[in-house]
Amino acid sequence: MGAMIKRWGLCLTMAACSLLNTPAYAAPQLNGFAEWRGGLRLGGDAHQSNDATLDEARLQLDSSASWKNVQFRGKADFMYDAVDSEADIDPREVSAAISPLSAVDLKLGRQTLTWGVGDYLFINDLFPKDWKSFLLGRDDEYLKAPSDAVKASFFSDIANLDVVYTPRFNPDRYIDGKRVSFFNPRLNRLAGAGDAFAVEKRDDWFTDDEVAARISRNIGGFDAALYGYHGFWKSPMGFDAISEKATFPPLGVYGASVRGNVVRGVGSLETGYYDSPEDRSGDDPLVPNSQARVLVGYEQEIVTDFTVGGQYYLEHMMSFGAYRASLPNGTALADEDRHVLTSRLTWLALHQSLRLSLFTFYSPSDNDAYLRPTADYRIDDHWAASIGANLFMGESERTFFGQFEDAANVFASLRYGF
Amino acid sequence: MNNITSLCVSLATLLVWPVAAEEGQPGKATFSADQVVEKSHQAFYAAGADMKADVTMELITGDGKQRTRGLTMLRLNTSGGAAQKYFLYFKEPSDVRRMTFLVWKYPEKEDDRWIYIPAVDLVRRVAASDRRSSFVGSDFTYEDISGRDISADTHKFLREEKLGSNDCYVMESTPKETLDYVRRIAWIDTTTYLPLKEEYYDLRNELARVFTADTIENASSGAGRGEIPTVMKRTMRNVKSGHRTEVTFKSVSFNVGLTDDIFTERYLRQAPSKWVP
């Protein structure tokens, strides 16, 4: 840790030195959008008091400026949420970027980070997600929650290295029962807005920290990468029997990906090993077991303006026998292998101002599915409208998508961009 | 390797090609039909070692409704000019601001294409199988923007005629595979080798799209290197729908010193401020 601080200190000093040699310029620009978005539950949900899933007005302001050779960016959402009758500010980005050396980029502050090759499926991308926004039908932009981190990128002819250090754990904006009910195994039933869901905080600076790294390079047109992550399960997957709180157990992830042109489309492959150090033997039912994950994907524009993509995803639980033996009698048993198939159909029309899309998740092992049809229409260079739905189906309320059946919703939005 | 071989072959051919005419060859020139198209391709799509331009695209419907796309385009020739790399950084409209396209174009295999979506910091690979797809909803296809593989068509010299005040070779190019058009007739300026007009005929052999080079100006070719005639304004009109796209180039400069590293994921995620202010 000390060595890391020293190294950062050196980088910052070099950054400060390079500031002295460059002229200052570039006035700030202000862009953004104003949007109304509404959503309605399709059926009833006994655990939720409101059938409106979304009713919000949002103003996003996005500004960037540069001083010397530092690029600053600030982006914040100012919103009024009529479902909860509350106003909120969500700072999405507050960052400074600089290249202290020609082969080094640094970005400090709040920023959105993404890597990996999955489409709505993430293995080595352990940056925070906002699952609630996704399931409620906010814009795709909101699936990614921002990180408060330092990103250092080192570039060379051999490979590039990205290191992201998050000094205080950034969990997912996970499903907690508010607006979207979920299956709570502690209660052994669906839990909603009225059910207490106590989660142990993991917010100590520099102890509850995360490090994510990627080594990447292009090999003959293929994007290849190795990944490592040291931190915590991003959603509260563990349980502490003494405090009776859900917990974020430690997690290490090691993986690889490759992506490139295959036949007449784009093929992708990503794998990751999820090391759960508090339950390597697999016999603690309150901490997730280690897992092996893999996804294979292919996408092709099969006729002009119509693109079809598909993915196969596998989540394999390690030490399944120990897990099974550890479960108290009567507890529902998770599968050793969770298989998921996805498809994405995208059709562009009217000079690409109309985009129709259907994304489908289907799990043959869980026997559940999630359909996400959307239609986006760019009315002109400023106005855009969209409608869509989040449809969940499943035989059991205990499965990944099946538990959200009562959250099935339709949504619509109108946006003015500037 | 194949690219280099074919480049060497075409260079060698250029050097030793006899002045004698063959069928389908322009009268006063010493080049075959293929070579006229090759020279035109070079002048229109690959002039200089590199290029930087600010590009405005106006997408205009038959009844006059207009949408605008504004972008900065960087191009670098690689493999001795046989291949190109493109960096396209969108500035407007607001929903695509900071979105960036990176294309590594090869003459005889599928392009490698990436797109960067800034709101989620996402770099995606884009399937490049259909080069006939519209570029950002305009009347130009990807191929119209970056050039069609010359060996994918059979080229024929039709005649020499004036278009306005310019002497032109009128060339016919027929795709070897079935596409959305069966032939392209091009009016190629005999001096600059720039295409001044192109007509695309659809599967019914009816005129479907018309390209026109509306304004040609000389752009700087770098200090002491003279100037390069450049199409500063061009239009592609869909004759059947009445939709058209007008593209205006501004601040065009060649041989500005772009380097290979700009055309990588690093600058896809963070546009190079030196080139994309």
Interface contact B137-A352, CB threshold 8 A? yes
Half-sphere exposure of B200 (CA within 13 A, CB side): 21
d(CA A282, CA B83): 54
Which chain B residue has its CA at the smallest distance from A262's CA? B127
Interface contact A260-B137, CB threshold 8 A? no
Gap from A344 CA to chain B (nearest CA, Å): 14
d(CA A180, CA A182): 7
Grade residue B129 by pLDDT with cuts at 50, 70 and 90: low
State the best of A73, A381, A418 to mutate against chain B, taking most chain B CBs within 10 Å: A381
Gap from B232 CA to chain A (nearest CA, Å): 23
Pick the closest to residue A184 from A120, A135, A235, A121 (CA basis).
Answer: A235
Please check whether residue A383 touches B, CB under 8 A. Answer: no
- Residue A211, helix vs strand vs coil: strand
Q: Residues of chain A whose pLDDT is less than 50? A: 1-23
Please check whether residue A126 touches B, CB under 8 A. Answer: no
State the best of B3, B124, B125 to mutate against chain A, taking most chain A CBs within 10 Å: B125
Q: Are B140 and B231 in contact (CB under 8 A)?
A: no
Pick the closest to residue B245 from B31, B22, B16, B69 (CA basis).
Answer: B69
- What pLDDT was estimated at residue B30? 61
pLDDT exceeds cutoff 60 at B18 = no
User: Torsion over CA of B162, B164, B167 and B168, rounded to 10 degrees?
Assistant: -70
Question: Domain map of chain B by residue range?
Answer: 24-269
The arithmetic mean of pLDDT across residues B213-233, rounded, is 92
- Residue A354, helix vs strand vs coil: strand
Beta strands in chain B (DSSP E): 50-60, 66-78, 83-92, 100-105, 112-117, 122-125, 153-163, 166-175, 183-189, 195-201, 207-220, 227-238, 244-254
Residues of B contacting chain A (CB within 8 angstroms):
59, 65, 67-68, 92-95, 97, 104, 110, 112, 119-123, 125-130, 132-134, 136-138, 180, 243, 261, 264-266, 270, 273, 277
Q: What dotted CATH number matches B24-269?
A: 2.50.20.10
| pLDDT tens digits along B139-176 | 999 889 888 989 999 999 999 999 999 999 999 999 99
* B65, B123, B136 ranked by CB distance to A352: nearest: B136
Please check whether residue A85 touches B, CB under 8 A. Answer: no
Q: Is the peptide bond before B93 cis (omega within 30 degrees of 0)?
A: yes
d(CA B211, CA B199): 6
* A26, A259, A304 ranked by CB distance to B133: nearest: A304
- What pLDDT was estimated at residue A188? 86
d(CA B37, CA B44): 10
d(CA A3, CA B238): 63
- What pLDDT was estimated at residue A10? 44
- What pLDDT was estimated at residue B88? 97
**ipTM attached to this prediction:** 0.90
Q: Considering all CA atoms of chain A, what is the largest pairwise distance in Å, rounded to the nearest integer?
A: 71
Interface contact B127-A382, CB threshold 8 A? no
Which chain A residue has its CA at the smallest distance from B68's CA? A381
- What pLDDT was estimated at residue A24? 57
Quote the tokens at residue A109: 């502050």
Q: Are A73 and B270 in contact (CB under 8 A)?
A: no
- Residue B46, helix vs strand vs coil: coil
B130-165: b or e for each residue (b if 16 or more CB lie within 10 Å)? bbbbbbbbbbbbbbbbbbbebeebebbbeeeeeeee
State the best of B112, B238, B263 to mutate against chain A, taking most chain A CBs within 10 Å: B112
- What pLDDT was estimated at residue B3? 45
Gap from A271 CA to chain B (nearest CA, Å): 18
Q: Which residues contact B78 (CB under 8 A, 6 or more apart)?
A: B84, B85, B260
What single letter denotes the amino acid at residue A351? H
- What pLDDT was estimated at residue A193? 87
- What pLDDT was estimated at residue B110? 85
Contacts of B134 in chain A (CB under 8 A): 304-305, 348, 351-352
Please check whether residue A22 touches B, CB under 8 A. Answer: no
* A69, A221, A304 ranked by CB distance to B112: nearest: A221
Q: Compute the C-alpha angle A147/A152/A155, nearest 5°.
A: 135
Quote the tokens at residue A237: 């997957």
* B97, B243, B266 ranked by CB distance to A160: nearest: B266
pTM greater than the 0.95 cutoff: no
What are the CA-CA distances from residue A41 to residues A48, A51, A65, A397 (Å)?
Answer: 10, 5, 42, 17
CATH of A2-417, one of 1.10.20.10, 3.40.50.300, 2.40.160.10, 3.90.850.10: 2.40.160.10
User: Torsion over CA of A43, A46, A47 and A51, rounded to 10 degrees?
Assistant: 40
Gap from A145 CA to chain B (nearest CA, Å): 9
The DSSP symbol for A129 reads B
Quote the tokens at residue A341: 């198939």
- What pLDDT was estimated at residue A28? 81
| Residues composing chain A | 418
The DSSP symbol for A367 reads T
Residue ranges of alpha helices (H) inside A281-331 are 320-326
- What pLDDT was estimated at residue A236? 95
| pLDDT tens digits along A131-190 | 999 999 999 999 999 999 999 999 999 999 999 999 999 999 999 999 999 999 888 899
d(CA A345, CA A300): 10
* B68, B121, B261 ranked by CB distance to A114: nearest: B121
Quote the tokens at residue B12: 């060698």
Gap from B125 CA to chain A (nearest CA, Å): 7
The helix/strand count (H/E) of chain B reads as 4, 13
- What pLDDT was estimated at residue B127? 79
Interchain CB contacts (distance < 8 Å): A and B: 106
Question: Domain map of chain A by residue range?
Answer: 2-417
What single letter denotes the amino acid at residue B178? T
Which chain A residue has its CA at the smallest distance from B271's CA? A71
d(CA A399, CA A366): 6
The helix/strand count (H/E) of chain A reads as 3, 22
Quote the tokens at residue A400: 């990944």
Contacts of A147 in chain B (CB under 8 A): none
Q: Is the peptide bond before A171 cis (omega within 30 degrees of 0)?
A: no
Helix%, strand%, coil% for chain A, nearest 5: 10, 55, 35
Contacts of A105 in chain B (CB under 8 A): 266, 270
d(CA A80, CA A86): 6
